[in-house]
Amino acid sequence: MLLEIFDPKAPARAVGIDLGTTNSLVAYVRDGAPTTIEDCNGSMLTPSVVHYDARGHAVVGKAAQALAAESPRETIVSVKRFMGRGGDDPETRRLGPYRFLPPESDGPNVVRFDVRGRAVTPVEVSAEILRALRELAEDELRTVGPCVITVPAYFDDAQRQATKDAARLAGLEVLRLLNEPTAAALAYGLEQRTNGLFVVYDLGGGTFDVTVLLLEDGVFQVKATGGDSALGGDDMDRLLAEDLLAQMGLPADSPERTPALVRATLDLARKAKHALTDAPSVTLESPRGDGALTLTREALERLIAPLLARTGAACRRALRDAGVTASELDGVILVGGTTRVPAVRAYVEELFGKPPLAGIDPEGVVAMGAAVQAELLTNASRDGEVLLLDVLPLSLGIEVGGGVVDKILPRNTTIPTGARATYTTQEDNQTGFVLHVVQGERELVADCRSLARFTLKGIPPMPAGIARLEITFRVDADGLLTVHARETTTGVEQRVTVKPTYGLDDETVERMLLEALDHGEDDLLRRRVLEGRVEAERVLRATEQALAADAALLLPGEAEAIRRAMVALTEAAAGDDPARTRSRLDDLDHATREFAGRRMDQAVARALAGQRLDAVEEGVKHAKGVENAHTERPLD
Amino acid sequence: MSAVSSSASTSAEASPFATLGLEPAFDLDVAALERTHRELSRALHPDRYAGAPAGERRRALERAVVVNQAFRALRDPLSRAEALFALRGVPLGDGHEPQPSQAFLMDVLEWREELGEAKARRDAARVAALGAAAKEGTERVLRALASAFDSEGDLRAQVALLGELRFFRRFAEEVSAAEDDLLDAP
């Protein structure tokens, strides 16, 4: 170990992170193959459990899990289920040992766990898990670069934003939020040998996703996605735990149901579920030490049947949205630890009429796919090999009169995307406007998820119906929404303040960030310097590559100007002033702007010109790919 | 607040056909459309600009958004028809679109009633039959639209077809929802 001196110049490696409900993993691409990183005990799974000790310090993973039974209220399990949710969410009232604090009256409406009297938000808990994963990766790679973090495809905007906030708090640069089923498809390396239509059935600890995707010539195109962001193995554990508590003679309102007993019974239920994968029945010792309890596989199957039916309904809808039938599928991929339950596998096989593929460990596959994407995004030599075209999982809309939703972007729209809508005032001399942005499929605002309220002020007084408020929605490749509002008759961009309904605002995240760092401002500055360096290196590499690839598109003198900007950026990045690095990055962007535009035009022209040629090859490739799909190893 | 319009595009922008390098037509080869979209995504998707300076990333994102909007507009026959009417200078939306014919409205009432009854009786076969009828109706309207766009005649007279198409779409969704209900709670 003494010889392994920390090398600040060691290239930062991009990693992929699966931030799961039950377990989290980190992976990277080693010698061309995605590899999950194991801890010193040889385990790739870090339990997504965070314990706060008496001094308020966080303990993460197995050590935290071991403390869950004795201090159930100070140990947060399955925090993912609370991400992006309000303090009044029904999720907070389900079977579990926690105590919650009400949201601050003028603060953001987020879940706040009461841990020894201190409020802890799910974003902070998740940041602790991410920090632990980063440290795990640093032990193996020394320097960890930017990352790709996976989220359930069915996560809404608030849940995605919360995940990104957690990463920011943990000091991780996020290249991309990637949908878990898409990551799994990538890990299977399907693009190397197959064209065809696939379904990914992803049942994790707390979330269910189904994704229909078409793979053609290295492009994964998500056709439709569906699911339930509050349905998973946890729910099975709760049902089993209720059954065990009933066997112990403790009805739901029994005062003997202490937090410790509930936690212990939930853990016991999880163990029983695992044991029932191989055995037809298990005998368990009561957590109160007063006798034996029994669970059979039949009982498990009966208890979880309604949960499986809910996944089935989501699958049918996804197939319909994609405009395909089960018989057209070339393969079904299983993802998530809960798909180890035999009854789940049998259900999936019956639902889709074919045995699912399960060549890769369903628990490691998502992190591996994230690692592949991180590599594709940072390794210029692999640029363009594979492309993921994902979709918006839930429709976006705006509240109009009568609590009705005006849908602006429908679900399953390919992202990035955008849309524009125009509204007008209802009253004379109305100078302000509140826009309520919601997400969901239902027609009434009350049945959808509230995302944010935008207050637009400073509209010049005019009669009702004259003002034209133009609302522009933009959804990026991470599935994150930004909204702009403008009053067009005066042409003046109005002041808009945004209040996320269930999220943290920027200042809150910034404050948490300072609090989380031992030396506040100093550490933050050091972090900004490092981030600037990483960004500068990436941009310099990409620019170098662009100059080499498209020298023919350069105008006289252009290359020299770009080179000068590159030298200036290199110098700035070597220093320790992040603002200067940022400004040199802008200079380089300015110097390459026209050149980059010409490259983009050329790429578009080639794409449009290539259409006819591709059409000929298409038929041949498809026929070949479908055959290969069926040679894939079926379930053992 | 009241909505004036909520169309996904405005007339000031390039036509979706132009964006995707296609001749304006109602009868489109959907497979070719998807291939073009794929190739353009390869050229413009933000992931291809992960190493680019922030400004360039932003500009690529803008262009990728325009391509995806055009793709969405043309893949769906309803919005494709709307785009074609717009290209030919036929105004759409409230106040411009004529009411559907009396006969069509009578049919609509009848279908709605039948679906409601079939749902109440949990008659899966009848629900499925109504779904098939909606599909047939959709195809009939699509054929009518195709020949309208082919002909040199006055397109204004054909705008009512859009209303019929929207009805069939909503009806098909209601049928699907009814089918789901029957499957979910047997």
State residue A497's pLDDT score: 62
Q: Are A152 and A227 in contact (CB under 8 A)?
A: yes
Whole-angstrom distance, CA of residue A245 vs CA of residue B68: 52
Inform me whether the C-beta atom of residue B4 falls under 8 Å from chain A C-beta atoms: yes
Shortest distance between the Cα of B39 and any Cα of chain A, in A, equals 5
Name the pLDDT band for B10 (thresholds 50, 70, 90).
Answer: very low
Of the two residues A526 and A591, the one the predictor is more confident about is A591
**In this model, does residue A494 exceed pLDDT 80?**
no
Mean pLDDT of A594-602: 93
Output DSSP code: residue A268. Answer: H
Whole-angstrom distance, CA of residue B93 vs CA of residue A267: 58
State residue A501's pLDDT score: 79
**In this model, does residue A468 exceed pLDDT 80?**
yes
Mean pLDDT of A42-71: 94
Inform me whether the C-beta atom of residue B149 falls under 8 Å from chain A C-beta atoms: no
Which residues are CB-neighbours of A9 under 8 A, at least 6 positions away?
none
Kindly list the residues from chain A whose CB atom is less than 8 angstroms away from the CB atom of residue B33. none
Which span out of A85-89, A177-181, A286-290, A504-508 was modeled with the highest average pLDDT? A177-181
**In this model, does residue A613 exceed pLDDT 60?**
no
Whole-angstrom distance, CA of residue A216 vs CA of residue B171: 33
Q: Are A374 and A148 in contact (CB under 8 A)?
A: yes
**In this model, does residue A305 exceed pLDDT 80?**
yes
**In this model, does residue B185 exceed pLDDT 80?**
no
Name the pLDDT band for B5 (thresholds 50, 70, 90).
Answer: very low
Per mean pLDDT, which range of A20-29, A268-277, A588-597, B1-10 is the poorest?
B1-10
State residue A3's pLDDT score: 42
DSSP track, chain B: -EEEE--SS-TTSPPHHHHTT----SS--HHHHHHHHHHHHHHH-GGGGTTS-HHHHHHHHHHHHHHHHHHHHHHSHHHHHHHHHHHTT---STTTSPPPPHHHHHHHHHHHHHHHHHHHHT-HHHHHHHHHHHHHHHHHHHHHHHHHHHS-S-GGGGTHHHHHHHHHHHHHHHHHHHHHHHHH--
Q: Are B167 and B108 in contact (CB under 8 A)?
A: yes
Of the two residues B142 and A615, the one the predictor is more confident about is B142
Quick check: B176 and A380 CB within 8 A? no
Kindly list the residues from chain A whose CB atom is less than 8 angstroms away from the CB atom of residue B47. 176, 376-377, 387-388, 477
Instruction: Judge whether A202 counts as a catalytic residue.
Output: yes
Name the pLDDT band for A567 (thresholds 50, 70, 90).
Answer: very high
Mean pLDDT of A389-416: 92
Mean pLDDT of B152-175: 87
Per mean pLDDT, which range of A66-70, A169-173, A363-367, B102-106 is the poorest?
B102-106
Residue A444 pairs with which residues in a beta bridge?
A404
Smallest CA-to-CA distance from A204 within A138, A153, A241 is with A153
To the nearest whole number, what is the mean pLDDT of chain A?
87
Mean pLDDT of A229-255: 90
State residue A510's pLDDT score: 82
DSSP-derived 3-state class of residue A523: helix
Inform me whether the C-beta atom of residue B12 falls under 8 Å from chain A C-beta atoms: no
Mean pLDDT of A2-24: 75
Of the two residues A623 and A40, the one the predictor is more confident about is A40
**In this model, does residue A399 exceed pLDDT 70?**
yes
DSSP-derived 3-state class of residue A303: helix
Phi, psi of A468 (to 5 degrees): -120, 110
CA-angle at B48, arms to A553 and A530, nearest 5°: 100
**In this model, does residue A621 exceed pLDDT 60?**
no
Mean pLDDT of A612-629: 42
Phi, psi of A597 (to 5 degrees): -65, -40
Q: Give the long-range contacts of residues A114-117, CB within 8 A, separation 24 or more.
A: A114/A73, A115/A52, A115/A73, A115/A74, A115/A76, A116/A52, A116/A54, A116/A56, A116/A74
State residue A412's pLDDT score: 94
State residue A347's pLDDT score: 95
Instruction: Judge whether A18 counts as a catalytic residue.
Output: yes
Kindly list the residues from chain A whose CB atom is less than 8 angstroms away from the CB atom of residue B31. 618
Name the pLDDT band for B186 (thresholds 50, 70, 90).
Answer: low
Name the pLDDT band for B12 (thresholds 50, 70, 90).
Answer: very low
Inform me whether the C-beta atom of residue B79 falls under 8 Å from chain A C-beta atoms: no
**In this model, does residue A517 exceed pLDDT 80?**
no
Mean pLDDT of A204-232: 91
Per-residue pLDDT tens digits for A416-465? 999 988 888 888 888 888 889 999 988 899 999 999 888 778 778 888 88
Which residues are CB-neighbours of B2 under 8 A, at least 6 positions away?
A400, A401, A423, A424, A426, A465
**In this model, does residue B11 exceed pLDDT 90?**
no
Mean pLDDT of A604-629: 55
State residue A142's pLDDT score: 85
State residue B141's pLDDT score: 92
Residues 359-398 of A with CB under 8 A from B: 376-378, 380, 383-384, 387-389
Q: Are A426 and A434 in contact (CB under 8 A)?
A: no
Inform me whether the C-beta atom of residue A585 falls under 8 Å from chain B C-beta atoms: yes
State residue A627's pLDDT score: 37
Phi, psi of A36 (to 5 degrees): -80, 145
Mean pLDDT of A5-10: 51
Q: pTM of the prediction?
A: 0.88
Which pair of tokens denotes residue A462? 């005019």
Reported ipTM: 0.87
Name the pLDDT band for A413 (thresholds 50, 70, 90).
Answer: very high
Cis bond upstream, residue A393 (ω within 30):
no
Quick check: B64 and A388 CB within 8 A? no
Integer angstrom CA distances of residue A620 from A24, A220, A324, A616: 41, 19, 22, 8
Q: What percent of chain A has pLDDT over 90?
A: 58
Which among B50, B71, B180 is the nearest to A414, CB-wise? B71
